Amino acid sequence: VDHPFESAIAAELCAECSSLIDGAQRYAKQNPPTIHDYQQMLRMRQVEELLRALYTEGFIAGSMHLAIGQEAVAVGATGSLQPTDYLTATYRGHHHTLAKGVAPSRLVAEIMGREAGLSHGRGGSMHSFAADVNHVGTSGIVGGAAPLALGAALSAARLHPGRVALTVFGDGAMAQGSIHEAMNLAALMKLPVIFVCENNLYSELTPTEATTAVLPLAWRAIGHGIPALTVDGNRVDQIRGATLAAIERARAGQGPAFLEAMTYRLCGHYHGDPEVYRTKDDVEAAKASDPLALTAATLRDNGVDQATLDGVVSEVESEIIEVREHALASPLPDVSTLLHNVTKESR
């Protein structure tokens, strides 16, 4: 009996993993962090700080999950897609929605339940959707959005060859059947899907190592026959390099890839989380790897002066004031229209 790692399939998969890693390194080198990356990350951070304030002021209801500290994953991964490519993501999806090209004012208005929102306020924080940029949607169900990316990828393969679908989920979703069913089918059908696992070390309040026997999580994708790698998700060039390499494979008909982006959530799991599962010191220590600080430091090392970085901050701050005003000026939907576009009969 052959040792499984000596089989032809394992050798082929090993070669695919190596070429994915080579591609990731090459693309990362070719695409170092830029001022534009910094601006995009800062915009995401400030949009979520605005949402935090609006929630506290009573303008937002229901559960809201912020992703402060995870901005580089959205800019590097989703930001590497073309407008015609497809995206699905989890409830912690504000950054990815912005990175897919949705204007901050439409997202904020949506989360506030306003008419000017993406779905006229019907979707809220956990369910953003924007057909005009092929954002197929975020889902409140852990692992719920990955199968939808397979549908988008299948339609791409049949109707629009060259397009890809990217799906984003957390480390906790790696324990969901839906993710493994999606990975198995994507590998079997060689679908153009990029699986991006945002590993922020916690599934809600539970550390990943308390729930998962096999780490790193990327290994579990290799078990499905999908080339995979783990990258520093706080380094925008690292996650972008890996995503561009995965996209290149997928566009060429070589099937799915899996990227595990190591990151950290610098805010609670949900707005209002007392965060009893970690210490304030843990969070303070993690701030040393805050993607915004890392990007600013790299830009300074590459010769960008502080005045330029400060200029970006002022620009984004002014933009956010307008986003707030725009959202507050938009009316709430009229009660008589509440079921419009919600059920088939009531439009």
Give me the residues that bind ligand TPP (CB under 6 A), please.
Answer: 90, 92, 140-142, 169-173, 200, 202-204, 269
Cβ nearer to ligand TPP, comparing 16 with 232 = 232
Cβ nearer to ligand TPP, comparing 279 with 346 = 279
Give me the least distance between CB of 78 and ligand TPP, in Å please. Answer: 15
Give me the least distance between CB of 44 and ligand TPP, in Å please. Answer: 15
Residues whose CB falls within 8 Å of the CB of residue 24, separated by 6 or more in sequence, listed in order: 229, 231, 238, 241, 242, 244, 245
Q: Which tokens belong to 289? A: 């790897």
Task: Tell me the CA distances in angstroms from 73 to 69, 131, 298, 345, one per residue in order.
Answer: 9, 22, 17, 40
Cβ nearer to ligand TPP, comparing 73 with 250 = 73
Give me the least distance between CB of 19 and ligand TPP, in Å please. Answer: 29
Instruction: Name the residue with tokens 């050798």.
Output: 11
Give me the least distance between CB of 13 and ligand TPP, in Å please. Answer: 25
3-state secondary structure of 199: strand
Cβ nearer to ligand TPP, comparing 17 with 111 = 111
Q: Rounded to an integer, what distance in angstroms lies between the CA atom of residue 124 and that of residue 53?
A: 16
Give me the least distance between CB of 246 and ligand TPP, in Å please. Answer: 20
Cβ nearer to ligand TPP, comparing 54 with 89 = 89
Q: Angle at the Cα of 225 (from 15 to 169), degrees rounded to 5?
A: 115
Cβ nearer to ligand TPP, comparing 199 with 238 = 199
Give the closest residue to 250 by CA, choosing from 138, 118, 156.
Answer: 156
Q: Rounded to an integer, what distance in angstroms lies between the CA atom of residue 92 and that of residue 145?
A: 12
Cβ nearer to ligand TPP, comparing 135 with 269 = 269
What type of residue is 289?
S
**Which residue's Cβ lies closest to ligand TPP?**
170
Give me the least distance between CB of 197 and ligand TPP, in Å please. Answer: 8
Give me the least distance between CB of 296 and ligand TPP, in Å please. Answer: 25
Q: Rounded to an integer, what distance in angstroms lies between the CA atom of residue 80 and that of residue 275?
A: 33
Q: What is the DSSP string of 113-172?
A: T-TTSTTTTSSTTT---BGGGTEEEEESSTT-SHHHHHHHHHHHHHHSTT--EEEEEESG
